[in-house]
Structure 1
Amino acid sequence: MTSSGFEALLEAVRGPASVNVLVITGAGISLASGIPTFRGTDPGAVWSNEVMEKGTHAFFQRAPHESWKMYLQRFELARAAKPNAAHRALVAWEAWQEAQGRGFAVVTQNVDSLHEDAGSRQLVKVHGSLRLARCSAQGCELGAPRGTVPMASVDFSAFHASPSPETVPRCPRCDSRLRPHVLWFDENYTEHDTYEIERTLILARQSRVIVFVGTSFSVGVTELVYRRGRKLDARMFSIDPSNASLDRGIEPVTARAEEALPELVRVLQS
């Protein structure tokens, strides 16, 4: 890969010994694993299915069974998916950075578990996880701001037999309805401690290179990190096949993540 953007990214990563790297991943990195994006042009893009309305706390309150049906469909899709070359390359890049005595972290907008399945260790799941549920009651020990429930421990048999508000699984502590442990569009990053938004902003402040991978820059965390990086004069890059509209001082690497990231690691290791 010889694009000017790729060479600029390589130069930045190979820069001074103090260079820490922060990678922000979006749905585009998981597309090669068979998980549709939200706003992309792929045939299964979730955005075409009214996710702005359904991906909200307000919708869960109105129709908790319909909300769970949507997330269980995505859970089954994600559970069958495997990490692709981009996820594995980030693990190798993390190891290379550590061997050089440099910091490295991944902040993912994705609620799938492909980064952890691949082996990423310095990982922030800023939008939650499909592998977790939590109580919908504020103040319950299994709800916000700290509590969660493993999805594997939740009994959905009655719900699968007859989806309805009455069969939505209940919290084992207080009997309120369980909800997916995901950040909905009408919620804030401070809703739950496990979103680790403060850690994300600290990582952005400490990083001299910030790489956005497979994101449309349409969610809050990308704007927060972008503003922090711009203020601190960090080098910022975007790895995505549809980078034509970038005009914000972010340097484009116009390529698929599963192609660009393994090549980057190959060159770093050589």
Structure 2
Amino acid sequence: MKPSGVDPLVAAARGAPAESVLVVTGAGISLASGIPTFRGTDPGAVWANEVMEKGTRAFFKRAPDESWQIYLRRFELARGAQPNPAHLALVEWEAWQAQQGRGFAIVTQNVDSLHERAGSRALVKVHGSLDKARCTARGCKLGPPRGTVPLESVDFGAFHADPSPETVPHCPACGSRLRPHILWFDENYTEHEGYEIERVFALARQARLVVFIGTSFSVGATEHIRAIAGKRGARMFSIDPVNASPAKDIETVTARAEELLPELMHVLSSKG
């Protein structure tokens, strides 16, 4: 049976002008891959198990070893997950848009690597990425992007053997401590060029169709995108099995993305 809500999305996708389709994904899209959300109702929701203060730069300064232990656990969980049908359908949508000569991009709030592993190319990770570490020294020449290295290139041997502030890995270029390449709650989007917030603003200005997937609309990026795209007359949808959209200008589709998006692509592809 065809998921409810797919027809308006099909019509919007087929009728979107050439400028761009912008998809904004939150933690809900990765839930079907086994990665807990932050603010969701799922039993493993991070919000219910990690206090907000631990996701901050201030906490890293106080307890860098405990901070790294938290993020290494999350990295291991994310590394073991696989892209689900929603991620794969977005890859198909990107290809379909290209065939039509139209733009397409994803802005994800997620720090897992499921979009990349599924094959998405036009992707902005506005909150950073679990698979990267970053030097804490602002002037460090490591990178690009500035100060970043793949997490798997970092030697955590001594840290795993004896987790402590002294064994937290250090930058191979300047010797400063390495930190997770994650936007923390007490930081802002201009903190690092790797978050590409200016590109996010540009994509929102270009978009004529914006589809939010699995987001609680509780972070700044979604509000910026909604405000910018809405002001320019974009049609906006929110796909979520539970959460209603927070604004009248966003149409709610109550469905699971891993069910709705493959059906969307089936209908789009069959109609050319």
Using structure 2 for the length normalisation, give the TM-score. 0.95
Residue in structure 2 matched with residue 34 of structure 1 by the alignment: 34
Q: Deviations over 1:7-45 (max 9, x none)?
A: 222111110542520000000000011100000000100
* CA 1:245–1:11: 2 relative to 1, 3 Å: closer
Determine whether 1:194 maps to 2:194. yes
- Relative to structure 1, is the Cα distance of residues 172 and 19 closer, same or farther in structure 2, using a 3 angstrom cutoff? closer
Residues 95-110 of structure 1: pairs in structure 2 closer than 5 A: 95-110=95-110
SS at structure 2 position matched to 1:14: helix
**2:25 corresponds to:** 25
Query: Residue type matched to 1:241 in 2?
Result: P
| Distance in 2, Cα, partners of 1:245 & 1:253 | 9
1:88-237 maps to which residues of 2 (within 5 A)? 88-142=88-142, 146-237=146-237
Q: Which amino acid aligns with 2:91?
A: V
Please report how far the alpha carbon of residue 176 of structure 1 lies from its aligned counterpart in structure 2 after TM superposition. 1.2
**In 2, Cα distance between the equivalents of 1:232 and 1:189?**
22
Aligned-residue offset at 1:192: 1.0
Corresponding residue of 1:12: 12
Q: Which moved more, 1:27-36 or 1:237-246?
A: 237-246
Aligned residue pairs, count: 269
Q: Distance in 1 between matches of 2:148 and 2:70?
A: 20
CA distance in 2, matches of 1:70, 1:136: 18
1:179-234 deviation per Cα after TM superposition (whole angstroms, max 9, x unaligned): 00010011111111111111111011101000000000001100000100111111
Q: Deviations over 1:83-121 (max 9, x none)?
A: 000000000000000000000000111110000000001
- One-letter amino acid matched to 1:150: P
The code of the aligned residue for 2:205 comes to R
- Displacement, 1:152? 1.1
2:68 matched residue in structure 1: 68
Map 1:40-79 → 2, pairs under 5 A: 40-79=40-79
User: In structure 1, what residue type is equivalent to 2:97?
Assistant: Q
Could you report, residue by residue, the CA deviation over 1:230-254 in whole angstroms, capped at 9, with x for unpaired residues? 1111100001001336443210111
Q: Any idea what the Cα deviations from partners look like across 1:141-191, whole Å, max 9, x if unmatched? A: 238972201111101011111111011001112211100001001111111
1:175 aligned counterpart, secondary structure: coil
**Structure 1 residues 20 and 262, CA gap change in structure 2 (3 angstroms):** same
State the percentage of identical aligned residues: 72
What are the ranges of 5 or more consecutive residues in structure 2 without an aligned counterpart?
A: none
8 Å contact from structure 2 (residues 17, 208) kept in 1: no
| Secondary structure, counterpart of 2:129 in structure 1 | strand
Give, in whole Å, the separation in 1 of the partners of 2:170 and 2:180: 12
2:223 maps to a residue whose letter is E
- RMSD over aligned Cα, in angstroms? 1.5
**DSSP 3-state at the match of 1:37:** coil
Show structure 1 runs of 4+ deviating over 6 A: none
Q: Secondary structure at the match of 1:133?
A: strand
TM-score, normalised on structure 1? Answer: 0.96
